[in-house]
Structure 1
Amino acid sequence: MDDTLEDILIWQPAKSGKYTAKEGYNAIVQMQEGINAEQNLLWEGIWKNKIILPRIKFFLWRLINKGLPMAVHMHSRFPNFSPMCQRCYEDNEFDMHCLFFCENSRQVWFASTLGLKVNELPLQIGEALKQIMEVLDDYGIQLFTATVWEVWKERNKAVIEHTVFKPTEVLKRVQAITTPITMDPIQTLPVQHIDEGQEVHDIYENGWQVVMDASWDTNNRAGCAYIVYDGGLLHSVGMHSEPLNDPFMAEAKTLQESINYMVEKIGVSHITRTQFFSDCNNLVQAVNNCDIEQLPSWRARGLVNDIIKMMEDMQLTATLHYAHRDAVQQAHVLANLARRKNMQLSGQLHWQLQQEEEIRDVIDARFFQRVQQAPP
C-alpha cells in the first residue's frame, strides 16, 4: 500500500465519484421511489398551498417523512432511549399519538373551533392529514396546520424544558397565526427594494410591521397609537395622549414615537426589515420624498425632518407605506381611547394586556377570545 497517497472524498451514488447538483437530485429521486403515491400527492398539495406558512410547510414535510425526533424514532436509533410518551406515559410516542391521541393534544383539539373528532382518525399520519384537509376550506386548512405546528412546539417545550403542557397557550398562538394583520384594502407607495409584482401577503411574511394612527380634537388634545406585529403576529401596543397643535402634528408625532419604540425597545437595526403603515398620505409622501416644503402644517417641519433622518439611519430596511383608513381602524380606535381617557402605554406586550378589556377588544377580539373552556 502506497502511504504517499492522500485520502479523497468520493460520492458513492455517482459513477465518477464526484458530487454534482444533478447527481444529488437523482439520489433524492431514487430515495423517494418507495414513498406511497398518495403521500406524494398530499405533499404536493401542501407545497402548492399559498395559505400555509413556509415554516409550517417545512414542518409538515418532516412530519410526513418521519423526520421529527419523536420518542419511537429516537428509540429506533438509540435503544436505550424510551419510546414512551414523556407527557402521558400511556403509550409509545409515534406521530399520531404525539399530535392527536395524547391527552394533552386531545385537549387542544377539543377546544379548537375545527371540531375535530380525534377518536375517528386513522393511525397513519399521511392518511390522517389527507382525510382532514380534504374537507376543509382555505381558512380551515390554515387553522388546522397551524394547530398541528403549535402542538408540536408546545410538546417540545414540555419534554425538553420539563414544563407543563398548556393547551390554552397553544390556542392563543394558533389564533395569532391565523388572525393576520388587517391590511385590506391597502395601497403602498412604490418602494424601490420591493420586487415588482410582489404580492401584498409576501410583504408581511417576514420582519416587523407597525400600524399607526392619531386622533385630534379642537381642544388641541391628541391621541397617538401604534400596533406592532412580528411577521404578522401581534407583538405589542403603544398609545399615549398629549397636547398638539393640529391633526397633522399628531400623525407625525405618532410615527416618530413608533420609530423610537422600534429602535430603542425592540432594537431593530439596519439589517432588520421594518414596515410602517399610516393613513396620512401627506406624511407618507413627505417622508418618502424627503420633502418638508409642502406640509399641511408649518409647525411640523422640524418634526418631519427628524423623522426623515431617523428613517435614513435605518437605511433601506425601514419603509413607510400609505394604508387606507380601514387598514388602520384598530389603531384609530386606540388613539381615540388615548385622547379621551389619557391612557398611556409604551409598547405594552400583548400578553400584558389581558386585563385591559377595552384595548383587548379593540386590537383583535379573535386573538384574545376566551380559551378557558379548554380542559386544564
Structure 2
Amino acid sequence: MVADLLLPSGTWNMPLIEWTFCPATAEKILAVPLPLQLMEDSLFWMGTNDGVYSAKTGYVFLQQVDEQGVASPSMSVSMEEGRWKKFWAAPSLPRCKEFSWRLFHGAIPVRQKLRQRAIDVDPSCPICGLEDEFVDHLFMRCEVMKATWFGSRLGVRVDPQQSFSTFFQQLVRDLDDGGVAEVQRLLYAMWEARNRAVFDERRVDWREVMSRAAALRAPLEEGMTRDVPAATMARWIRPTRGIVKINIDAAVGRDKLAGFGMVARNYNGEVMASASMYPTMVLSPTIGEALSLRWAMELDTQLGFRRVLFETDCLPLFQAWKKATRGSYLFTIIQDCFRFCNLFDFVDFTFVRRNDNNAADYMARNASTFTNEVWVEEGPPGLAPLLLDDCLASMPL
C-alpha cells in the first residue's frame, strides 16, 4: 500500500523507498508532493495541469498516440510546462521562432510526411541519402546537421537515440534566452540548406549552415537599442504602504531537483527578508513553483509578516490558484497554501512577467550555493544590484 511508504510525520520513507524500488522509480515516487494535512484520494487526468478531463484534451491525447505510430518515430506535440513563454521571449527573428514552433508540432513537409499524404517523392534524405527523411534524422542524425550542432557556439553533442521532440525540449529548458535564440536560428538555417539541396541540388556544408544562422541574428542582439517608454522598463512595482510584497520563484534542473527563492520588500523597496531552499525533487516546473509558494508562505508566517502580496512569474500556477479545481497534485499544494492564508491579516497573489521577478529568480538559481539560508532585512551580496535596479526603476515620477 502507498500508506506503507509514508512515515507517521506524513513524509516519504526515503530509506524504504530507495531499498524497495529501482532508482528511477524511487526518484519518481519521492518527487510526488505530499500535502501538509490529510486529504481524500481523488482521480485526475494527466493530460492537463488542473487534472480535469475534457473532450479536447482527450482528442489531443489520441492524436499524439496516432502521430507516434504514423508520423516521425517519436514526435510529440507537448512542451514541458512553462517553456513556451521562454521560447517566444528569445531574442531571434519572428520567422525563426515560427519555423521552430511549426517544426516541433510536426508541421514541416519532410519527405516521409509527404509520402504519408500520397505524394510520390524519394523518401531518402536529400543531404546524405543514408536514411529516410524524418524530422529526427534531418535535424539530428544527418551527419551534416550533427556537425552543425557541435560546431556551433552551443557545442551540442547529439544523442542519436533521442527523439527531436525530447532534444528540443531539453535545449529550451537548459539554455538561457540567447541560447534558445541560437537554436531557433540554427533550425531555420538547416531547413534553408535542406531546401537548397532539394531545389538547387547544392551540396550542404555545415560551415555554411552556421554562417547563415549567424546572419539571422536579430538587430537587438547586435547591440542596437530602441527607445522604450520608461513606464514599460520598470521591473518591480512597489506595493501599497503597509503591504510586504514577496516575490517567489523556483529553478528546476535536469535532474528534477528544484531550488526555491524568495525576496520580501516594502513600499520603499527595502528588503524585509530573503531566503533560498535546496534541494526538492519535483515532478515538473509548475509543481516546483507551487511548492516554492507553499514554502514561502510557511516561512513568512514564521517571520511575522501579517499583510502580504505574493508574486509569481508562473502562469499555470496563477491560473490553478484562481480555479482551485480538485483533481491534481497542484490542487493538494494550493489547498495547503489556502490554509496558510488564514494566518495572515491580508493576503493576495498576482502574476508578473519573468523580467519583473529577477530578484527571486536569482535566489532560486543560486539556491544550491546558499544552502537553505534566510537573511533578515538583507540578502546575499549578488542580490544587491538587482534590488537597486528594481528600486530605481520603480521610483514614483
TM range (shorter): 0.3 to 0.5
Q: What is the TM-score with the length of structure 1 in the denominator?
A: 0.38
Larger Rg: 1
| Larger RCO (CA within 8 A; separation ≥ 6) | 2
